[in-house]
Chains A and B, each alone.
Chain A
Amino acid sequence: MGELQAMIELSHVSLKYDRQTSALEDVNLSVDEGEFVFIVGPSGAGKSSIIKLLLREKVASSGIVMVDGVNVGRLKQRQIPQYRRKLGVVFQDFRLIPNMTVYENVAFSLRVTDTSNKVIRNRVPYILNLMGLEKKAKRFPHEISGGEQQRVALARALVNDPPIIIADEPTGNIDPELSYEIVELLEGINACGTTVLMVTHEHEMVHHFGGRIVTIEQGTIARDEVIEKGGARQ
């Protein structure tokens, strides 16, 4: 048995969008398998930039990004789709495919991996049930509420059983009561062993749930702490 490897490991990572401004500056972050981590910080701090690096939408200007043993910056173009299937992603703006039904949106995640129709027919209803969406399967995204759309996005992220779930402000566009519901769903997923990384700027919610909280300010990690459920620092 070797030493336990971190699920996500950023070492000395910097990211420049253009020559003058650095979105991230010497960021070091390690997330173990099965952890639930909140990433918080003001708007423009660089939270989404971290997500972009993990998704390989951007490549770090310097430093190394490792995810589940993969050096993300070194991936060849044709390896990227395969890599992205390891990550279940949820965005603030849901990013559902507008002309596909709820069912098809969720099934799409499986179709890209060449999953057989038989498996799709079993797996998709199961996940939709889990998210309380069984009655919405035939609806289109514009026919359901924001909270429901985000649950569809979550279902799509989960259906492949990825080792990591990444959520960038998943509650940013939905009602506060429903926001807590989404985070509870993520906690449930995390309880089954999935690593979860959730970006948010809603401090109140973070303090309500507690756990490991990484604060980003001006492109650097300002604090990395564990807060008790209910708000007190441990």
Chain B
Amino acid sequence: MKASSLRYLLKEGLRNMWRNRVMSFTSIGVLTTCLLIVGAAFLLTVNVNSMVKYVEGQSEMCVYMKEGLSEEELSQAEAAIKAVPNVKEVTFISKEEGLENTKESFGDEGYLLEGYEGEDNPIPDSFVVKVDEIEKTRDTQSALQQIEGVDIVNASGEVADTLSYVQNTVITLGTIIIIALAIISLVIISNTIRATIFTRRKEINIMKFVGATNSFIRVPFIVEGFALGLLSALFSFLIIWGGYSYLVGAFSTDVSYWLQSAFDSVVPFRQVALPLGGFFLGTGVILGVMGSLISIRNHVKV
């Protein structure tokens, strides 16, 4: 095929998009909506993951040791703690450091603990343990409890449970939404284009009788599907960019403290812009072109 013919078919595809602008508009609307919902599900998943990571980073277990352990017993216990699966980081807090920390946390009332230094120090030796995966907190906790010389293990098990439940739910729901929408949008797009094809079937027939090859007839439709996908991807990207930035902005100006801290774990848009944009572009174009091909499949044969 000559370059001039290719140029003609390209222009023809774009012109057809304008000639059938009502259908084009509908297709873009449907595709954009689908991409937006999938994009929102993606952003939600990414943020929940990030929030879980953030909380995981913050959450620590405190392993309090029994009184009167020797230096050697303590280092044996430390080695045992490090050997427990899921343990990421272990920090030793001596009785003295523990007392200092407690005093500090009492603030102005810190003087109440004056005089408890040395022999009378009620704070036991302890280890602060950070874990890899928060959902395994309970298993880790009971493993730590078994270690020789360990008195009490403090961990916020409920937070861990809730968090991992939320995470799993969001990931499952997100996956279902994404798969379902991919199928739904493909069906809608091909039906939308099929409707235009139906009105254009006559036109295709005429072209066949003038001696147009199948590819000559197909190329404009492919161009049209491609352009519809491209425009939908662009619109979706702009809308989700605006919407997300607005939400994040609303978050960051909120005065309440815990929202502020949750904001720390919100993923900034520029971090997801590339994968999201790539996903929109790829999905939009693939769905657009596939929709076109599916819908002309039955009509090209004469």
Partners in one complex: yes
- Residue in B8, B19, B203, B209 with the greatest tally of chain A CB atoms within 10 Å: B209
Among B8, B210, B213, contact of A156 (Cβ-Cβ < 8 Å): B210
- Residue in B4, B19, B205 with the greatest tally of chain A CB atoms within 10 Å: B4
Q: A89 contacts B209, CB within 8 Å?
A: yes
Contacts of A156 in B (CB 8 A): 210
Among A83, A85, A95, contact of B206 (Cβ-Cβ < 8 Å): A95
Q: Is B250 at the interface (CB under 8 A from chain A)?
A: no
Q: B8 contacts A111, CB within 8 Å?
A: yes
Among B4, B207, B214, contact of A97 (Cβ-Cβ < 8 Å): B207
Q: A96 contacts B206, CB within 8 Å?
A: yes
- Residue in B16, B212, B302 with the greatest tally of chain A CB atoms within 10 Å: B212
How distant is the Cα of A95 from the Cα of B8 in the complex, in angstroms? 21
Q: Is A61 at the interface (CB under 8 A from chain B)?
A: no
How distant is the Cα of A156 from the Cα of B214 in the complex, in angstroms? 20
Closest 10 pairs between A and B when the two form their complex, measured CB to CB: A85-B211, A84-B211, A112-B212, A81-B213, A95-B206, A99-B19, A81-B211, A114-B2, A109-B210, A117-B4
Q: Is B216 at the interface (CB under 8 A from chain A)?
A: yes
How distant is the Cα of A84 from the Cα of B89 in the complex, in angstroms? 78
Contacts of B216 in A (CB 8 A): 81, 111-112
Interface string of A87-108 (1 = CB under 8 A from B): 0010000011111000000001
Q: Is A21 at the interface (CB under 8 A from chain B)?
A: no
Interface string of B190-210 (1 = CB under 8 A from A): 000000000000110111111
How distant is the Cα of A108 from the Cα of B4 in the complex, in angstroms? 13
Query: With contacts defined as CB atoms under 8 Å apart, how many contacts are there between chain A and chain B in the complex?
Result: 54
Contacts of B206 in A (CB 8 A): 95-97
Q: Is A55 at the interface (CB under 8 A from chain B)?
A: yes
Contacts of B112 in A (CB 8 A): none
How distant is the Cα of A223 from the Cα of B38 in the complex, in angstroms? 70
CB distance from B248 to the nearest CB of A (A): 46
How distant is the Cα of A99 from the Cα of B1 in the complex, in angstroms? 24
Q: Is B256 at the interface (CB under 8 A from chain A)?
A: no
How distant is the Cα of A55 from the Cα of B214 in the complex, in angstroms? 16
Q: Is A177 at the interface (CB under 8 A from chain B)?
A: no
How distant is the Cα of A85 from the Cα of B1 in the complex, in angstroms? 16
Q: B211 contacts A114, CB within 8 Å?
A: no
Among B4, B19, B205, B213, contact of A112 (Cβ-Cβ < 8 Å): B213
Q: Which residue of A lies closest to B18 (CB)?
A: A99
Q: A112 contacts B207, CB within 8 Å?
A: yes
How distant is the Cα of A156 from the Cα of B210 in the complex, in angstroms? 9
7 pairs across A/B with beta carbons < 8 Å? A78-B213, A84-B208, A84-B210, A95-B202, A108-B210, A111-B8, A156-B210
Contacts of B211 in A (CB 8 A): 81-85, 109, 112-113
Q: A114 contacts B209, CB within 8 Å?
A: no
Q: A114 contacts B1, CB within 8 Å?
A: yes
Contacts of A81 in B (CB 8 A): 208, 211-214, 216
8 extra interface residue pairs, beta carbon distance < 8 Å, beyond A78-B213, A95-B206: A55-B209, A81-B208, A81-B213, A112-B210, A112-B211, A112-B216, A113-B211, A114-B2
Interface residues of A in 17-37 (CB under 8 A from B): none
Q: B2 contacts A95, CB within 8 Å?
A: no
CB distance from B136 to the nearest CB of A (A): 62
Q: B302 contacts A116, CB within 8 Å?
A: no
Contacts of A99 in B (CB 8 A): 16, 19, 203
Q: Is A175 at the interface (CB under 8 A from chain B)?
A: no
Q: B2 contacts A84, CB within 8 Å?
A: no
How distant is the Cα of A95 from the Cα of B206 in the complex, in angstroms? 6
Among B4, B207, B208, B210, contact of A116 (Cβ-Cβ < 8 Å): B4
